[in-house]
Amino acid sequence: MSFDADYLTALTAGKRAVAVGMGWGRSEENKRILNWLLSHYSGSLLIDADGLWALAGSEPVRALSAATCRVILTPHHGEFARLTGLSLPQIESDFRRTGLCQAHGNGDLAQRVRDGCDGWGNGADG
What is the reported pTM?
0.77
Give the pLDDT band (50/70/90) at residue 92: confident
Q: Regarding predicted confidence, which is higher, 97 or 115? A: 97
CA-to-CA distance for 36 and 117, rounded, in angstroms? 27
When comparing pLDDT for 111 and 61, which is higher? 61
Each residue of 2-54: pLDDT tens digit? 899 999 999 999 999 999 999 999 999 999 999 999 999 999 999 999 999 99
Give the pLDDT score at 56. Answer: 92
What 97-102 contacts at long range (C-beta under 8 Å, 24+ apart), as own/partner pairs, is 99/125, 100/125
Instruction: Using pLDDT thresholds of 50, 70 and 90, give the confidence band for residue 102.
Output: very low
Q: So what's the pLDDT on residue 116?
A: 46
Report yes or no: 29 and 1 within 8 Å, Cβ to Cβ.
yes
